[in-house]
Amino acid sequence: MDARSDGDFARFVADRTTALLRAAHALTGNQHAAEDLVQGALAKAMLRWRHIADDPEAYVRRILYHDHISGWRRRRRRPETPMAAVPEAATADGTDEAHLRMLLREALLELPPRQRAVIVLRYLEDLSEREVAQILDCREGTVASQASRALAKLRRLVPPQAVEAWR
Amino acid sequence: MTEDLDRLVRDTVVELAAEAQPRDLLASVQARARRIRVVRGIGYLCAALVAAVSLAVPFLAVHRDRALPPATVDPTGTPSPSHRPTIVPVADLGAPVVLPRGWVVTAAVQAGPDTGDSYVLDRATHRYLRVGYPTAWPAPTGSLVAVTRPDGTGLGLLDLATAAVRWVLQQPATNPQWSPDGNRLLVTLSPDAFAVVDPGTGRVSTHTIDRSAYRCDDACGFSWYPDSRQVVLALTDTSVPHRDAWPDVQRGLQLFDAATGAPGALLPVHGTVAHAGDWSPDRRTVLVTGTAADGTGGRHAEYQLVDTATGQVRGPYPAQPASSWWVDDQQLLSIPARLRVCATDRAGAAGACATLPADFTELAIVIAPS
């Protein structure tokens, strides 16, 4: 990259890193994995900067979500729970409100990566099914079915008594 | 329920996103881009490397069930200057929050991985103190409080009488639980390892269980059995095929000797237990998160009272095991709605209730007999 492109890229990173980290944290559930995901997407963007400079945000978001999904495929279907992430919600004493949030959080992080990506794009980024389909390179019907399956799973994992109590 | 779930999912996703810490990633991104360039440039070497790695892998493979490294113990037991506690009396919480049946709130702590302070009842002064740790679990009696560092990488014992913290573990430890007799502290190190701390000496005993025989895949927190001599872990029933869309089924509650880690009885209870307070005083009934058929051939999670001898489900219960405590063989204290603690019978019918102060909103509470 020339000096001008360098400057443009540095400004883009400075402007957009926080927003990208938020999305990545919602996808991964932890800071380290989120930083790794964002770094990877931005590094690929840097290498293609000349070609994507018109709309780098769209490119980086696509890479972010696709890397999240494909990265997961390379791992075991059921990874061991890391020590720092032993689910406290199911075991600590506390209010229903606080624990319901933790239950949902655990359930969200157990969703298959494509379903989690759809949930984050729909609920965090407030994108339409069409926009989500464009980012994930799939049909709108697939987005709808993935979202439906994700919500069905969350409904099963979180006892109905918990949701009733929180109303 | 659909609308409620929709709203809760949105709130939870937004909350997860908000936990991201801002970082300046430019330098690391540039370094990573350089590495990608280099890797692309030497791509032709990959075939040779693959062949070499294929030969080496059998010798490099690490045994999956290797024992954890021994717990790191601070032998001096001295307070760490980098984690000096901030302890501030809370002006508008000058008296214990009294619950039905004479119980009191002894702490209110951060329920998630959030950083923030906790409230702890100082039994000597009958006042709540705000302490600068996200997790603060007071012992059933006395002035000791188990605390964790905000990043979860250490377990300490805060003595409210002296305001000193003794760090006894220097590794990630979750779910601290005092034994019902208050003599020892249990922490979960991983889904197959736990540690027991003697608060008097600071001595830590670490035990790793045989995961091939005692496998836990979900909600793998160790908790005390009411006898204060054994700990409990819910084992996953691996004969039931795992389906991403359904909660796993538990094979039973496995007991382990807290002093030696030796396995004991397997109770035929198909659910996960949260803490020692989920066992009725006569130990014949336990409140768990189990599973129930959903009417479409699948299953969903359900809070249940279960007979500990037979495993028979006596019925669903309306509140979470994590926020319920038996007060006698017929009644529990539980939280059926936000900021409400009620005495309930086995069917979940509420009797006397107490309202928690707004200071405890979104915090997990710890309760004990006064």
Alpha carbon distance B325, B343 (integer Å):
9
Q: Is the distance from CB of B272 to CB of B264 less than 8 angstroms?
A: no
Alpha carbon distance B362, B339 (integer Å):
9
With CB atoms and an 8 Å threshold, state whether B111 touches A31.
no
Q: Which residues pair with B196 in a beta bridge?
A: B186, B205
- Across the A:B interface, residue pairs with CB atoms under 8 Å apart total 267
Other C-beta atoms within 10 Å of B105: how many? 25
More confident residue, B28 or A23: A23
Which residues of chain B fall short of a pLDDT of 50?
40-82, 113-114
Of B16, B33, B272, Cβ closest to residue A46: B33
- Long-range contacts (CB closer than 8 Å, 24 or more residues apart) made by B343-348: B343/B100, B343/B101, B344/B318, B344/B319, B346/B285, B346/B305, B346/B314, B346/B315, B346/B317, B347/B315, B348/B316, B348/B317, B348/B318, B348/B319
Residue-level pLDDT at B310: 97
A39 near B CB under 8 A: yes
Exposed, middle or buried by CB within 10 Å (0-12, 13-18, 19+), for A69? Answer: middle
First to last CA, chain A: 55
Q: pLDDT digit string (tens) for A79-116?
A: 333 333 333 333 333 455 667 777 888 888 888 888 99
Query: What is the pLDDT confidence band of residue A70, given thresholds at 50, 70 and 90?
Result: confident
Q: Sign of the CA dihedral A107, A111, A117, A122?
A: negative
A165 near B CB under 8 A: yes
Best of A67, A95, A125 to disrupt the B interface by mutation (most B CBs within 10 Å)?
Answer: A95
A24 near B CB under 8 A: yes
Residue-level pLDDT at A65: 92
With CB atoms and an 8 Å threshold, state whether B20 touches A153.
no
Locate B344 and state its tokens. 């309930």
Q: pLDDT digit string (tens) for B212-264?
A: 899 988 778 899 999 999 999 999 998 888 765 677 899 999 999 999 999 99
Residue-level pLDDT at B45: 31
Alpha carbon distance B332, B185 (integer Å):
24
With CB atoms and an 8 Å threshold, state whether B11 touches A101.
yes
Q: Sign of the CA dihedral A22, A23, A26, A32?
A: negative
A149 contacts on B by Cβ (under 8 Å): 245
**How high is the ipTM of this complex?**
0.84
Chain-centroid distance of CA A141 in Å reads 20
Residue-level pLDDT at A166: 53
Q: How far is A141 from chain B (nearest CA, A)?
A: 19
Residue in B closest to A15 by C-alpha: B24
Q: How far is B207 from chain A (nearest CA, A)?
A: 14
Alpha carbon distance A108, A65 (integer Å):
16
With CB atoms and an 8 Å threshold, state whether B111 touches A87.
no
Q: Is the distance from CB of B226 to CB of B280 less than 8 angstroms?
A: no
Q: Can you give chain B as a three-state secondary structure string?
A: CHHHHHHHHHHHHHHHHHCCCCCCCHHHHHHHHHHHHHHHHCHHHHHHHHHHHHHHHHHHCCCCCCCCCCCCCCCCCCCCHHHCCCEEECCCCCCCCECHHHEEEEEEEECCCCCCCEEEEECCCCEEEEECCCEEEECCCCCEEEEECCCCCCEEEEECCCCEEEEEECCCCEEEEECCCCCCEEEEEECCEEEEECCCCCCEEEEECCCCCCCCCCCCCCEECCCCCEEEEEEECCCCCCCCCCCCCEEEEEEEECCCCCEEEEECCCCECCCHHHECCCCCEEEEEEEEECCCCCEEEEEEEEECCCCCEEEECCCCHHHEEECCCCEEEEEEECCEEEEEECCCCEEEEEECCHHHCCEEEEEEEC
- From chain A residues 79-108, the ones with a CB under 8 A of any chain B CB are 80-81, 83-84, 86-102, 104-105, 108
Exposed, middle or buried by CB within 10 Å (0-12, 13-18, 19+), for B349? Answer: exposed
B153 contacts on A by Cβ (under 8 Å): 84
With CB atoms and an 8 Å threshold, state whether B29 touches A43.
yes
Alpha carbon distance B1, A113 (integer Å):
25
Residue-level pLDDT at B370: 87
Tokens 């113990």: give the residue: B73
A11 contacts on B by Cβ (under 8 Å): none
Residue-level pLDDT at B152: 65
Q: pLDDT digit string (tens) for B111-121?
A: 654 457 889 99
Best of B10, B25, B238 to disrupt the A interface by mutation (most A CBs within 10 Å)?
Answer: B25
Backbone angles phi, psi at B159, to 5 degrees: -100, 110
A35 contacts on B by Cβ (under 8 Å): 23, 25, 28
A29 near B CB under 8 A: yes
State the average pLDDT over residues A16-39.
90
Alpha carbon distance B149, A91 (integer Å):
19
